[in-house]
Homo-oligomer: A and B are copies of this chain.
Amino acid sequence: MSTLAERATGGDVRAMARLISMAEDRADGVDALMRELYPHTGRAWTIGVTGSPGAGKSTLTDKLIEHFRSEGSTVGVLAVDPSSPYTGGAILADRLRMQRHTDDAGVFMRSLGARGSLGGLSRGTREGVLILDACGYDVVIIETVGVGQSEIDVMRVADTVCVVLVPGLGDDIQAMKAGIMEIGDLFVVNKADRSGADRVVNEVRGVLEFLKGREWVPTVLQTVAENGEGVPELVRLLRLHREHSLKSEAGRERELARLRSKIEDIMLERLSDRVEKLWTVRREELLEAVRERKLDPYAVAEELLSKA
């Protein structure tokens, strides 16, 4: 094994952080490192925490860390922030709260920006999970901010997906839930001390009715992350899902689906790189011809590909 991978799996946090940065930057040599680490993966439990902005995901994550730590499990957290494509990984105010765990050697936290990712999940998220797994973290939590593609992508990476909802965020956001309704293994209505929480629970139950008969039917529970209310029950239900996945055929199929999209993502990345290189010195000339409608984009793409 290379020194860097050896140091990381041996417990050197700085080496681990370095590996994640390399993955985020798609630095040279990172694939070779990932290949070394891969045989050491497969033990961690990856939990995706996703939902609307303002739902209290960070506070909930904070309480989950606390709970898992109290049971002796080590926890790695990847906070994915697709909102900052240009600046890369803004630290939101809520996330500062989690910083209280930074002195705990059993907790590793990292923010990932959304630089140049193909889908909604930041580049480096997939590798980040593998790295934390190989380095022995028992639980890896991926927290995403945002509504849209990123939620879907969480499912492709996480073993268990927890969707966090909240009362009173307006109708559009309610409508959006339709999309994320299909990816949750568990639904949490957080800030349950606010009025309207029961209504949200009922709405979700109404939607989940349609999933009856499946091997795993998601449940809905209420939490008040702020004061820890409902968190032990949340952990119990998350664990129930984990146990179900590990022994069911559905769980095995989902793992294969996850590996499949992992491989497809890697290929897609490679192909994007290849495409950029296909442009020859003739780029400006070709683009100008397309602009003037002397050529069309499809013809140019075809021509460049024929030389690949």
A: residues with CB less than 8 A from B are 31, 34-35, 38-39, 41-42, 53-54, 82-87, 90, 92-94, 114, 117-120, 145-150, 152, 169-173, 175-176, 178-180, 182, 255-256, 259-260, 262-264, 266-268, 270-272, 274-276, 278-279, 283-284, 286-288, 290-291, 293, 296-302, 304-305, 308
Contacts and interface: CB of A to CB of B under 8 A. Distances in A.
A218 to B, nearest CB: 15
A222 to B, nearest CB: 20
A145 B174 CA distance: 12
A176 to B, nearest CB: 4
Interface of A is mostly: helix
Given A54-B172, A93-B171, A301 B266 contact: yes
- Give the number of times this chain occurs in the complex, counting copies: 2
A86 B207 CA distance: 14
Nearest to A171: B93
A247 to B, nearest CB: 15
A118 B268 contact: yes
Contacts of A150: 148-149
Contact of A268 (B31, B272, B290): B272
Contact of A149 (B35, B146, B304): B146
Given A35-B298, A298-B35, A301-B270, A84 B179 contact: yes
Nearest to A56: B172
8 contacts: A34-B298, A38-B293, A114-B179, A145-B172, A255-B291, A259-B290, A262-B297, A270-B305
A172 B53 contact: yes
A175 B92 contact: yes
Given A255-B291, A264-B275, A176 B146 contact: yes
Contact of A147 (B39, B53, B180): B53
